[in-house]
Amino acid sequence: MSRFLLIGPPGAGKGTQAARLAESYGIPAISTGDIFRFNVKNETELGKLAKSFMDRGEYVPDSVTNDLVRDRLNMDDAAAGFLLDGYPRTADQVSELDSILDEHDTSLDAVILLTADTDEIVRRLLNRAIEQGRTDDTEDVIRRRLEVYEAETAPLTSVYASRGLVIMVDGLGAIDEVTGRIVEALDARGYAN
């Protein structure tokens, strides 16, 4: 079974690595950010609500995000494993995920913490703003997203570390290199791809 989380600051390369890992382990990558962006693009009610938070660099409220993830994890394709990218991000989301997995009589296998220093992150995000035109990649919003990450999400890693689940991986370097580091670390823990 492969039930993994990918945690890290905005711009650490989570989305890129999640797609590759999902492919290599044959599990769905579930990105709350991507689900929100899909809804924003399609102008759904969820999208309108999410956009008002995303454009300011704030988190979408837990109640909304938790319901969305619960529904997604209840889908058949997540039964044999998944890689959650960008969730959980708050203490409340950690508890919710624990409950969802409890209900399925399962638990997490590993939490991949992708690290990157702030200068590199800002450089990557400003670059992405040019390449992808994301409305939350302006300098002010980037700064706010980093602040929110430090305040709300960074402390969560100690929760997972106390459970012995955290694998810290340097997100700096070529995309292939970083994927290699993650696969190697998971392999060392007995999770072969």
Q: Report if residue 191 touches ligand AMP, rule: CB under 6 A.
A: no
51 binds ligand AMP (CB under 6 A): no
Select from 2, 32, 39, 179 the one that contacts ligand AMP (CB under 6 A): 32
SS3 for 20-75 is: HHHHHHCCCEEEHHHHHHHHHHCCCHHHHHHHHHHCCCCCCCHHHHHHHHHHHHCC
Q: Which is nearer to ligand AMP, 149 or 191 (CB)?
A: 149
Binders of ligand AMP in range 142-171 (CB under 6 A): 145
Q: What is the 3-state secondary structure (H, E, C) of 116-136?
A: CCHHHHHHHHHHHHHHHCCCC
- Measured in whole angstroms, the distance separating CA 119 from the mean position of its chain's CA atoms is 20
72 binds ligand AMP (CB under 6 A): no
Instruction: Tell me the closest approach of the beta carbon of residue 6 to ligand AMP, in angstroms.
Output: 10
Question: Among residues 13 and 191, whose Cβ is nearest to ligand AMP?
Answer: 13
- Please give the residue whose beta carbon sits closest to ligand AMP in the complex: 33
Given the complex with ligand AMP, which of 25 and 36 has the nearer CB atom? 36
- Residues 49-56: contacts with CB under 8 Å, at least 24 apart: 54/135, 54/136, 55/135, 55/136, 55/141, 56/141, 56/144
Q: Measuring CA to CA, which residue among 154, 158, 155, 180 is closest to residue 169?
A: 180
How many residues belong to the site for ligand AMP (CB under 6 A)?
16
Among 20, 38, 49, 53, binds ligand AMP (CB under 6 A): 53
Candidates 22, 60, 113, 169: give the one binding ligand AMP (CB under 6 A). Answer: 60
Q: Characterize 10-25 residue by residue with b for buried, 16 or more Cβ atoms within 10 angstroms of its Cβ, and e for exposed.
A: bbbbbbebbbbbbeeb
Active-site positions read: 14, 89, 128, 134, 145
Q: Which residues of this protein are in contact with ligand AMP, per CB under 6 A?
A: 10, 32-33, 36, 53-54, 57, 59-60, 65, 86-87, 89, 93, 136, 145
